[in-house]
DNA sequence: GCTCCGATTATCT
DNA sequence: GATAATCGGAGCG
């Protein structure tokens, strides 16, 4: 008998409370499953770093919908990243899933991630994680209570959660809204967004 | 481990 | 037209 950690109950809260509680949860798509080790919170329309901060558009519409759905976006011309939409209703908040440990379907994950030099790299970084799990544009808006793409909350809350700045943002780069589990090899090293100089 | 840099295109100004 | 919630390879330590 599992504890009362129903996914919908968990995701109903405010994103800054929800994000660290998702560490240790399992995101499964078919035969591949990842235990989540690193996430970031995106706090509604007030968050300058969020895709939702300029209002609803075709791309970010899922963030404005009900909790428990997956917001998948395409970036840098070649990568997908996925977020879990959370509450409260009407606030376009979401948790970016940045990294995880592949705990099932290793063979398929390895086949999808041929550049990975070791298993810890299979789902290290948000775009790599999506690739390992086979998450693409057609999974945008998916309800995570419906197999084959599901999220299962952890049985125990992580008791040692680290926090720091979010990765790759120029806006609101000071907010420590990245959460990760210590001593997990799948957690990315921090890369600040640098304003790349062009020309002399 | 680190830093530099090119790939490649949807999205928004 | 510029930017982007990124990645991997090259070169260095």
Question: Which residue is closest, via its CA, to the C1' of C3?
Answer: A76
- A199: Cβ under 7 Å from strand C? no
β-strand A162-164 against A149-152: which pairing, if any? unpaired
Please give chain A's pLDDT, 200 residues, in tens: 544 468 999 999 999 999 999 999 999 999 999 999 999 999 999 999 999 999 999 999 999 999 999 999 999 999 999 999 998 888 999 999 999 999 999 999 999 999 999 999 999 999 999 999 999 999 999 999 999 999 999 999 999 999 999 999 999 999 999 999 999 999 998 887 865 444 44
- Give dist(CA A105, CA A183) in Å, integer: 23
Q: Which pLDDT score is estimated for A101?
A: 98
- Taking the CA of residue A80 and the C1' sugar atom of nucleotide B10, their distance in angstroms comes to 11
Q: Quickly give A1 CA vs C7 C1' distance in Å.
A: 41
Which pLDDT score is estimated for A195?
56
Distance of A168 CA from B13 C1′ (whole Å): 21
Is the minimum distance from the CB of A135 to strand C below 7 Å? no
- The answer to whether strand C lies under 7 Å from the CB of residue A168 is yes
Q: Which of A182, A189, A22 is nearest to A94 (CA)?
A: A22
**Best CA proximity match to A150, nearest among A161, A137, A135:** A135
């Amino acid at each position: 008998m599992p504890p009362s950690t129903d996914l919908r109950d968990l995701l109903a809260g405010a994103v800054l409370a929800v994000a660290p509680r998702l560490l240790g949860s399992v995101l499964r798509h078919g035969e591949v499953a990842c235990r989540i080790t690193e996430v970031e919170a995106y706090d509604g329309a007030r968050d300058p770093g969020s895709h939702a901060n300029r209002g609803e558009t075709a791309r970010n519409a899922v963030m404005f919908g009900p909790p428990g759905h997956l917001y998948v976006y395409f970036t840098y011309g070649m990568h997908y990243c996925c977020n879990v939409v959370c509450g409260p209703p009407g606030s376009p908040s979401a948790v970016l899933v940045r990294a995880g440990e592949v705990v099932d379907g290793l063979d398929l994950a390895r086949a999808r991630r041929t550049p990975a030099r070791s298993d810890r790299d299979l789902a290290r970084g948000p775009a790599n994680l999506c690739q390992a799990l086979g998450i693409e544009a057609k999974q945008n808006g998916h309800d995570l209570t419906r197999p084959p793409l599901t999220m299962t909350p952890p049985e125990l809350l992580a008791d040692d959660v680290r926090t720091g700045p979010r990765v790759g943002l120029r806006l609101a780069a000071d907010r420590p809204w990245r959460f990760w589990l210590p001593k997990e090899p799948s957690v990315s090293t921090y890369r600040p967004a640098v304003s790349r100089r062009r020309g002399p």
